[in-house]
DNA sequence: GCGACACTTCGAGCATGGTCGAAACATTGC
DNA sequence: GCAATGTTTCGACCATGCTCGAAGTGTCGC
């Protein structure tokens, strides 16, 4: 008999269709209310509420109460990374889905992963940052390189800002099957992309769509 | 309602304690038989068999039939990565486990991996055998070198003995993260270590403990 | 205060699926 | 051939936990 961390408990939390739908919805990065999540999951409000308390108890969600609204969000990037990893396996072993539609294609190119950018663009960006020695990766770890502070300061991003969360983290991309950049730096870069209006979020989707000029600007800064 | 890859299906496969234990056991990289896995999971053989067919159907395992033995293994690194991600969350969220005891330390040094030796000693042994050209490794394959037959004959091990199972196999060591020697040769070496009483198996554990003189003998033969 | 709204708790119904013993099947060794 | 061993299938039992309607708690606007 095995011991150690109770992985079955965590996996079974994700293993219910209603809860899996809720978690997928929360992968967009915005906190949602119980009613919104009930709608996403296709269950009644009482059922949703019961699922949410289970997810809370399991430590997968955080709760922010604001008046009579209660906003549920993913507990952190580690949880997001886990969902992403499970999604990757589901995609790989699942029955080949119907021919990928346009939204799928957009998702593969760029999408939100909790609070940072994922997809081909994000993977390419991390590769390039490592090539240029701005970031350094040891096996699974990613650290700041010597020129990181000045490089990101030019973009208005302060990598020195103290934070509980690690500045850099690797997050496995389900569509490309390679890592992209998570952590506070990943979040700050996504913020910048949206703030500069290089790209906008697709309605009701995790897809992130770059405008032609925005794409040029992004590539100039991160893929040059 | 959400669409896309069926993450609930995959997660629920991992979400059963028996199956989670089996998958954890397989994280070592060695394929195991149904009986071994039943033991690991603490369930009866019929129950284990039922779980295994579900995991197979879900695409999480591969099966290698060899005579009346059927070896189950993880379907690939992506699946292993997913298990690792879930384990990480479970560890972060769950109660902190008790500080690793002496048995854990012993396990890292040397332990049984189904029928052969694993752990630091085993990894060092394989490295040395390859250095001395007794064995030759191409990428993930391990083959017998020119001097293998005479070298092992001196130890009373006949590497020419016909067997369905490969004579040499690489097996990924979970504690060292490098390969050690499996296959009939790996099994024969473990047999010799135990037969010569260089080491004994710890009760109810996979740990293998060398006696002081046994360790010297082992090192003289395999690590010199 | 009193409705309106957001959400949770309670209770009961119900399906899914985990469990094992017994028996069937398959392969090996003699 | 027959016995021994490893594994799967079958059948029946049973617990877990998902589900929703109805009722209860808390918060806001007026």
DSSP codes of every residue in B74-107: ES-HHHHHHHHHHHHHHHHHSPPPPPP-HHHHHH
Residue of A nearest to B75 (CA): A93
Nucleic acid strand D within 7 Å of B62 CB:
no
A contact test, residue of B10, B14, B94 with most A CBs within 10 A? B10
Measured between beta carbons, the chain B residues lying within 8 angstroms of A17 are 8
d(CA A169, CA A190): 14
pLDDT exceeds cutoff 90 at B182: no
Q: Do B87 and A5 touch (CB under 8 A)?
A: yes
For residue B44, say whether its CB is under 7 Å from any atom of strand C. Answer: yes
Note the CA–C1' distance, B28 to C4, in angstroms.
58
pLDDT digit string, tens, across residues B56-99: 989 999 887 766 678 888 887 778 888 888 988 887 876 654 44
Q: Which domains does chain B have, with CATH numbers?
A: 7-93 (1.10.10.10), 102-223 (no CATH)
Phi-psi region of B106 (alpha: psi -120 to 50; beta: other; left: phi over 0): alpha
How many angstroms separate the CA of residue B132 from the nearest CA in chain A?
A: 29
pLDDT digits (tens, 9 = 90+) for A79-89: 988 998 899 89
**Do B1 and A42 lie within an 8 Å CB cutoff?**
yes
CB contact residues (below 8 A), chain A span 20-59, against chain B: 20-21, 23-25, 40-42, 58-59
**pLDDT by residue (tens digit) across A127-147?**
888 888 888 876 556 778 888
Per residue in A167-197, pLDDT (tens digit) is 777 776 666 656 788 878 888 888 888 888 8
A34 CB closer than 7 A to any strand C atom: yes
> What is residue B177's predicted lDDT score, i.e. its pLDDT?
45
Range name among A62-66, A102-106, B124-128, B198-202 with the lowest pLDDT average? A102-106
Q: pLDDT value at position A121?
A: 85
The pLDDT tens digits of the residues spanning A94-119 come to: 665 544 555 567 777 888 877 788 88
* d(C-alpha A157, C-alpha B185), whole Å: 57
DSSP A56: H
Segment B139-165 shows an average pLDDT of 72
Q: At A2, is the pLDDT very low, low, confident or very high (cuts 50, 70, 90)?
A: low
**A95-99, A121-125, B188-192 — which is least confidently predicted?**
A95-99
């Amino acid at each position: 008999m095995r011991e150690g961390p109770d992985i079955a408990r965590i996996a079974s939390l994700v293993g219910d269709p209603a809860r899996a739908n809720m978690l997928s919805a929360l992968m967009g990065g915005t906190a949602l209310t119980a009613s919104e999540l009930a709608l996403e999951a296709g269950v009644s409000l009482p059922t949703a509420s019961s699922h949410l308390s289970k997810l809370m108890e399991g430590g997968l969600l955080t709760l922010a109460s604001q008046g009579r609204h209660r906003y549920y969000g993913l507990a952190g990037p580690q949880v997001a990374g886990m969902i992403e990893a499970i999604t990757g396996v589901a995609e790989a072993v699942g029955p080949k889905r119907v021919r990928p539609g346009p939204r799928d294609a957009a998702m593969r190119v760029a999408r939100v992963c909790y609070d940072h950018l994922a997809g081909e663009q994000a993977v390419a960006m991390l590769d390039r940052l490592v090539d240029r020695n701005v970031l350094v990766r040891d096996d699974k770890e990613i650290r700041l390189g010597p020129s990181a502070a000045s490089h990101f300061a030019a973009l208005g991003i302060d990598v020195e800002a103290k934070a509980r969360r690690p500045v850099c983290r690797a997050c496995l991309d389900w569509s490309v099957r390679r890592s992209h950049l998570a952590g506070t730096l990943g979040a700050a870069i996504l913020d910048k992309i949206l703030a500069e209006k290089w790209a906008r979020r697709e309605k009701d989707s995790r897809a992130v769509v770059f405008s032609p000029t925005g794409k040029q600007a992004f590539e100039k800064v991160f893929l040059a």
